[in-house]
Structure 1
Amino acid sequence: MIYQARKGQVSYGEAIGILLLETYAPFIPGDVGNATTYSFPVRFKVVKGLTAKRVFEHDWNVLDAIISAGRELVQEGVRAITGDCGFLAIYQREVANQLEVPVFLSSLLQVPFISRMLKEDEKVGIIVANSKAVNNRLLETAGISRDVPVNIRGLEDQEHFRRAAIEETGILDAEKIEEEVVSVAKQLVAGDPKVKALLLECSMLPPYAAAVQRAVNMPVFDFITMINFVFSGLIRKPFQGFM
């Protein structure tokens, strides 16, 4: 077999490129920013100046930096690009229009698909890092139109999550955060019987998805379910078996 090198590319085999915010937090296994989360290689790129605060404020001044970092990942050989904050949905269309590979910046992009799995009057429960930063424009850019029934709860008032993810103290107590996320999930489901599936928006929440599912006994989706899904379409493998 003969292989052809690509100009400017010096390493190979990383199909998924991940744009990272400039944050100060430990990324534990299961987090989007931890390479051991995946069963395949990924390539990370920090977007300079892209802070959680600016994303929560929907700051459009960071758009050029996001696009530039995305182009670097494409040059380095990735086949699709995601991010590590669900609120990056506000930049989804603009970034996708500028890059030559598929772009799926936000975990929220899964919500319309999840909703179509349910009955018409059933809802997708969405647990977000900061509910105060959610508005109609954010939801609409993620494809969550007004006819997609959702119930949104935030974690901004949960002490341990807030310190780790929003205040960026540099310390993360995984057991305490798991308790907080599970508690919010249980409250959401108990308060709204129409919720039949959950989406964890924040890239720091997948480590707690299994505990959430044990607590509420329903489908739970997050950034990692989305990334794994896209990878499975990018890198198809032949079936093996017998008849």
Structure 2
Amino acid sequence: PAGGFLGVGQARLAASAPAPFLASSLNGLPDLMARYRTEELAVLTVDAETLSAPAFAPLLNGFAGPIVGLLPSSHLKQVIADDLPELDSARAEAEIIDLVAGLMAQRPVRALLLECTNLPPYKAALKKRFDVEIFDILTQIHLMNPDIVESAFL
């Protein structure tokens, strides 16, 4: 596992880190589940199939809402999976917007948790297009230490 999927090792990694450590935005999922009803919250990830696997169940803390993954053919997923040297950010943004538009057409949510640490660059576009609160690794870091993340990225 990589990126946010490292959350399964949060306790072990935090115990060995010399400073406060946060492996995944999913560490904030219990707080979001207390704040939003199941039908109001969705998780956006690069790979929904992997995140839904039993090995990651502890990370999801019983979350029963939608887990939406990038399409296998999506540009961003291919760049990540194939470790490609270049990213067309406009194309990736358009595909992410389309993906969330599909979610909202089927099941409008009030909040999105961006599991993947490659998704925060698209947060501003998502906020502009959808009336939804967005949480990610940066908002989790901000909760740990409000002085680290610039407000423009929240």
Q: TM-score, normalised to structure 1's length? A: 0.55
For residues 147-226 of structure 1, the aligned pairs below 5 Å read: 148-193=63-108, 195-226=109-140
Secondary structure at the aligned position of 1:122 is classed as: helix
Larger Cα-atom Rg: 1
- The separation in 1 between residues aligned to 2:38 and 2:90, in whole angstroms, is 35
Distance in 1, Cα, partners of 2:147 & 2:90: 34
Counterpart in 2 of 1:138?
Answer: 56
Amino acid at match of 1:98: S
Residue 202 (structure 1) shift: 1.3
The 5 Å alignment of 1:16-35 reads none
The question of 1:124 aligning with 2:41 is answered yes
Q: Residues 156 and 165 of structure 1: is their aligned pair in 2 closer, same or farther, counting only changes over 3 Å?
A: farther
1:185, CA displacement in angstroms?
1.0
Give ranges in structure 1 of 5+ residues lacking alignment: 1-54, 57-84, 235-243
Distance 2:106 2:57 in 1: 22
Among candidates 3, 22, 25, match of residue 107 of structure 1: 25
Measured in 2, the distance between the counterparts of 1:121 and 1:159 equals 27
2:82 maps to a residue whose letter is: E
Query: What is the one-letter code of the residue matched to 2:61?
Result: S
SS in structure 2 opposite 1:161? Answer: helix
Secondary structure, counterpart of 2:132 in structure 1: coil
Q: Which has the higher helix share?
A: 2
TM-superposition CA deviations, 1:166-196 (whole Å, max 9, x none):
1111110010000011111111122123x32
The residue aligned with 1:8 is none
Higher strand proportion, which one? Answer: 1
| Distance change >3 Å, CA 136–CA 171, structure 1 → 2 | same
Q: Which has the higher contact order (CA 8 A, sep 6+)?
A: 2
Kindly, what percent of the aligned residue pairs are identical?
27
**Structure 2: where are the runs of 5+ without partners?**
149-154
Aligned residues: 147
4+ residue runs of structure 1 moved beyond 2 angstroms? 96-103, 120-123
Name the SS of the counterpart of 1:137 in structure 2.
helix
**Inter-CA distance 160–111: structure 2 relative to 1 (3 Å threshold):** same
What's the RMSD between the two structures over aligned residues?
2.1
For residue 122 of structure 1, report the CA deviation from its aligned partner.
3.1
Q: For 1:174 and 1:211, locate their aligned partners in 2 and report how far apart those are by CA, in whole Å.
A: 11
